[in-house]
A and B are shown apart, each in its own frame.
Chain A
């Protein structure tokens, strides 16, 4: 049991606002990645943190930023929200890079 939790479950924002999404897991899972999943599509990689540092980034603009804390919890911040940011945001943890990965339940973000 990896115990990946995400908060909040659902969120409604308006265009131009800022949002912070959170992910937490058991100690020892030192790698966290964030994905965006639009309706009917597969998840798209946003970025990855390994031991509190950004380790890789997908094709997302700088207004998508993140943090990983010493207790391995993580935040995804999105500034200047756009309508197309409406999606399910998933965090994914693993014990090191290239190991089996475990996803949280996701945060459903709606931008009006």
Chain B
């Protein structure tokens, strides 16, 4: 059974520091991995989607890497800003799973001015 873990559960950094968020999964037979952002009480905003054949994806200050063999993904956010404060969730899609997402519990990030 696929399990997705995110460590740490919470993180606080001063503005300008780089953020490093970790995601691990137990079954490497994934189709893709997606990172989401969630503001309090709101829905999920897709940040980056990495296909299983890719090693990384980049969008602006965001970069996500994927190491399928070790079951790990890392989301890097460069030069953090107070507006980056949110919960970040990773989710994997397994093969033969109708595309359903298996989520981690998230990392709550606070960026202090």
Interface residues of A (CB under 8 A from B): 4, 6, 31, 33, 35, 40-45, 48, 50, 55-56, 58, 88, 90, 92, 94, 97-106, 108
Q: Give residues in B with beta carbon < 8 Å to A.
A: 4, 31-32, 34, 36, 41-46, 49, 89, 91, 93, 97-106
11 more CB-based (< 8 A) A-B contacts, given A42-B89, A45-B101, A97-B99: A6-B43, A33-B100, A35-B101, A43-B101, A56-B97, A88-B41, A92-B44, A100-B34, A103-B43, A103-B44, A106-B43
Are A90 and B100 touching (Cβ within 8 A)?
no
Query: With A43-B103, A55-B98 as given contacts, are A101 and B45 in contact (CB-CB < 8 Å)?
Result: no
- Which A residues lie within 8 Å of B49 (CB)? 100
Rounded to whole Å, the gap between the CB of A78 and the closest CB of chain B is: 19
Q: How far is the CA of A104 from the CA of B45 in the complex (A)?
A: 9
| Shortest CB distance A57–B (Å) | 9
Q: Which residues of B contact A43 (CB under 8 A)?
A: 44, 89, 101, 103
